Structure 1
Amino acid sequence: MGRRRIGAWNRNPRSAHLALLVAVTLISGPAILLPTIAARGAPAATISFEFWGDPAEAAAYETMVEAFTALHPEVAVQTEYVPNGDDFYARLATGYAAGDAPDVFLINYRRYGQFAAAGALEPIAPYLDQSAVVAASDYYPAPMAAFTFDGELMCLPQNLSSLVVYYNRDLFDAAAITYPAADWAWDDFLSAALALSQDTDGDSKTDQFGIGIEPSLVRVAPFIWQAGGELVDDLDQPTMLTIDTPAARAGMQFVLDLSLVHQAAPSESDVLVQSLDDRFMAGNIAMLLQSRRVVPALRQAADFTWDVAPLPRHEETAGILHSDAYCLNAGSESKAAAWTFIEFANGPDGQAIVAEAGRTVPSLRAIAESPIFLGPNDGVATGTERDRTDPPASARIFLDSEPAMRRLPATATWPEVEQAFNEEFSLAFYGKQSLDEAIAAILDRTAEPLRRES
């Protein structure tokens, strides 16, 4: 996989932003090297920073890196942007195998365990303990726990996102449906999904769907927990999945029925033609289950009023943690410079820059509770045109969901477990096998990786 360079840095920040967005849209391939940003004069150290996401995210991180190098001209930063998540993780593994992994990278807590177990990460706790900029107590505890491996903090959490329901207020208004309440339940959720699934052009086919939900473990898990079920026998050292119980089955069946019984979700062929995120942005899905990641793209592309609501409740209230962290390569030859970058990126200044772009729910309490993230009305919708400014208006939903957030395991083999679940549950979601068959296949395919981990 070759690396491609974008041309020389444009000194006009607005032009540089535009050049970046055009470049990342036009250049194909697994990785894009943005220009090394440094102040005039030779820097004392050069570090690499790798991440993945959409062009709007790339622009946010570019702005943050520019601010860092203005403050720290002694450190040059080579930003390596990978548009696709699968390519990012493959590239990261290949880089470690070749001794060419980035100095710093952003990774989800469900994927870092394999690197921590291999000794590929420099524990971040000793650096944090000595920092005069940030302290462990400044961050929300849930993501800090997620990135603690064998009792030691390995990476510094950047965000505290959760799974929420994005909804198109214009479609709700057109159907005379009340916006989701903070305490809405499964029945309310289903009722709205059914009412918002419509044949808008009279061809006897649904072309506006009530709900968009990816048939994956990170989307299904909250419904299993809400029904009173569990996923694993032990969160930190799982030896088996516990999805073959009445409660777990009820959660999975509710999700399956959205597609198979109620036909309120797009079919497999529909999704192949247009992704769920794109369908929501185009106004063809009324509600979308997603994390905070989609906000920058929605702000750019959606031409309707939208907001967020918490997940519906059932027997229990439960959400799922979505969190990424800055990790430091144990093999980095510039660890001090790399930590200086992480300290800035995940400190008040860096988190404020990325939060303003809409990408993150800041893990720093001070930034998350500020107007930088919550907006002018303390993260509460007004029901007026004011809500169209830097949505979501109900940003506080993300913070209010924190007490009910649960996390998935972060063991070395957990990505294999998720892949097996996603593949088999997708077959059931699209009517290619029964729930019984899916559960049996999931348990069979995950037994070996879980046994290998234990």
Structure 2
Amino acid sequence: MSTVIERRLCLALVAVLALVLSACGGGSSSGPTEIAVWHGYQDTEGEVFKSLIAQYNQEHPDVHVSELYSSNDLVLQKVLTAVRGGSAPDVAYMFGSWSPNIAQIPQVVDMAGEVSQPDWNWDDFYQAEREAATVGEKVVGVPALVDNLAIVYNKTLFAEAGVAPPTPDWTWDDFRAAAAKLTDPAKGQYGWLIPADGSEDTVWHYLPMLWEAGGDILSPDNERAVFNSEAGVRALTVLQQMAVTDKSLYLDTTNENGPKLMNSGKVAMLITGPWDLSQLPDIDYDVQVMPTFAGSSGGHQTIAGPDNWVVFDNGDAKKQAAIDFVKWLSAPEQVKTFSTGTGDLPIRQSVGEDQAVLTALNDNVPGTAAFVANLANATKVRPTVEQYPDISEALGQAIVSVMLGKEEPAAALNTAAEAADAALAGK
């Protein structure tokens, strides 16, 4: 009797264990691999991104991608907190300027081996994107967004002032002369507006000028500042001349008034990105590449702000699913869908050279195609060092000090270089 009972208990126990193993993923009925994606897309971008995720989930039933909105400005701290708590996302949208910090997170997947595979076609991403995602030998992310700076100008104000529109041959002397003619104190009208709050946005506008003058931010080994060179002084002197001498440069100390003042006809030119075009519905504008410095080898330059999709290692299955999703998301067909749906610049050169895409972008927001073409001039990136925020802060203060007439360019840049060198040395 006891043998029969023991046998029944044993069979019952085996049945229970089978159910437990099945519930824990031991069988084929465990369901799709779940991956979580954190992003900062809202409005049109958010809707297009959601539709792409829905498409992926439908086409890949073995994986389920869920998305969570997270402010782009706050995501680095949020990710660091989640990593410490063992709850990192599988994929996160993160600023390219954070790459050196991201590279220090152990859970971040080094994508170098992945993107080197032929089917990724890594060289199809713009140069500035690839460089911003690379820290040493590591590739910490896959491009998610790219943009750049160019001249956006009010065609009506140019015509009224009798000034010929900007051309690709314009030098900074041409730019300065035009801005002076386009300035009318009686109307409260300025030739140009620049962010002047000392933030990275201020620095962003100076760096292409530095590069065009033939200078750079740091030495090739990233151990010391070199922006206080003759080229750096030459670039900053232009800002000094326009702000202090000509008074043709409106200093936007709040960094909030650019599109509004241009749209109302108070500013003739902005050096800005494609994100501001939709905020200019009341004026007839056009877009042109930034000027060059006469006699300089720097040529045309712009600055790109590439952001990345960063993958985290939450176990082999989830890691591979995350890599596969990012690969699909950044493939040409999806890049085309996202770009034409949102107006964002395409992250792949092949898509940026697609005439149908360019036409769609320009039909959506006139002038966008010019920014796509300008990506060819984004050949340099900000240094991928952890101390860059300190370098940017010192340089931003120097630029604003000169534009306010408080310091001379050489002295201000020397002071900023000392602060940058101290940060690089860990002092």
TM range (shorter): 0.7 to 0.9
Aligned residue in 1 for 2:292? 313
1:211 matched residue in structure 2 = 192
Amino acid in the other structure paired with 1:112: S
| Residue 351 of structure 1, CA deviation | 1.0
Is structure 2 residue 240 aligned with structure 1 residue 256?
A: yes
Which of 330, 337, 344 is matched with 2:328 structurally? 344
Q: Name which of 366, 390, 398 aligns with 1:392.
A: 366
How does the TM-score come out when normalised to structure 1? Answer: 0.75
Given the superposition, is the C-alpha separation of residues 254 and 54 from structure 1 closer, same or farther in structure 2, using an over 3 Å criterion?
Answer: farther
The normalised TM-score by structure 2 is: 0.79
Q: Does 1:322 align with 2:305?
A: yes
**Structure 2 partner of 1:415:** 389
Bigger radius of gyration among the two: 2
Q: Secondary structure at the match of 2:184?
A: coil
Confirm or deny: 8 A CA contact 2:194 2:252 kept in the other structure. Answer: no
Superposed counterparts of 1:128-207, under 5 Å: 128-129=115-116, 132=119, 134-199=120-185, 204=186, 206=188
**CA deviation after TM superposition for structure 1 residue 77, in Å:** 1.8
Is the contact between residue 48 and residue 80 of structure 1 (CA under 8 Å) also seen in structure 2?
no
| In structure 1, C-alpha distance between the alignment counterparts of 2:156 and 2:40, rounded to whole Å | 32
Are the structure 2 counterparts of residues 139 and 164 from structure 1 closer, same or farther at C-alpha, using a change threshold of 3 Å? same
Match of 1:443 among 392, 396, 417: 417
Q: SS in structure 2 opposite 1:145? A: helix
Code of the residue aligned with 1:287 in structure 2: it is M
Task: Tell me how far 1:254 sits from its aligned partner.
Answer: 1.0
Task: Tell me the equivalent position of 1:91.
Answer: 78
Given that 1:375 and 1:393 are in contact with CA atoms closer than 8 Å, whether structure 2 keeps it comes out as: no
1:46 aligns with 2:34: yes
**Change in 2 beyond 3 A, CA 1:230/1:55:** same
Q: CA deviation at 1:238?
A: 0.7
Where does 1:58-69 land on structure 2 (aligned, <5 Å)?
Answer: 58-69=46-57
| 2:106 alignment partner, SS class | coil
More helix by share: 2
Q: Structure 1 residues 172-181 or 310-319, which shifts more?
A: 172-181
For residue 272 of structure 2, the aligned residue among 290, 296, 299 is 290
Change (3 A) 1:55 1:114: same
Structure 2 segments unaligned to the other structure (5+ residues): 1-29, 197-201
Deviation per CA, 1:29-85, whole angstroms, max 9, x where unpaired?
xxxxxxxxxxxxx97233333334674544443444344334345313223141xx5
Structure 1 counterpart of 2:424, which letter? L
Q: Distance in 2 between matches of 1:172 and 1:71?
A: 52
Q: Percent of pairs identical after alignment?
A: 20
Which whole-Å CA distance do the structure 2 matches of 1:131 and 1:169 have between them? 45
CA displacement at 1:222 relative to structure 2: 1.5
* Unaligned runs of at least 5 residues, structure 1: 1-41, 380-386
Q: Tell me: CA distance 1:343–1:177, structure 2 relative to 1, closer, same or farther (3 Å).
A: same
Q: Secondary structure at the match of 1:395?
A: helix
Q: Which stretch shifts more, 402-411 or 444-453?
A: 444-453
Residues 350, 282 of structure 1: alpha-carbon distance in 2 compared, 3 angstrom cutoff? farther
Contact 1:160 1:321 in 2 (8 A): yes
Aligned equivalent of 2:111: 124
Query: 1: CA distance between counterparts of 2:309 and 2:112?
Result: 12
1:112 paired with 2:99, answer yes
User: 1:427–1:62: structure 2 CA closer, same or farther, 3 Å change rule?
Assistant: farther
Report the Cα distance in structure 2 between the residues aligned to 1:264 and 1:400, rounded to whole angstroms: 26
Matched, 1:303 2:289: no
Asked if 1:76 is matched to 2:65, the reply is: yes
Distance 1:127 1:227, change over 3 A: closer
Distance between the aligned counterparts of 2:407 and 2:289, measured in 1?
30
Offset of 1:98 from its aligned partner?
A: 4.2
Aligned to 1:220: 206
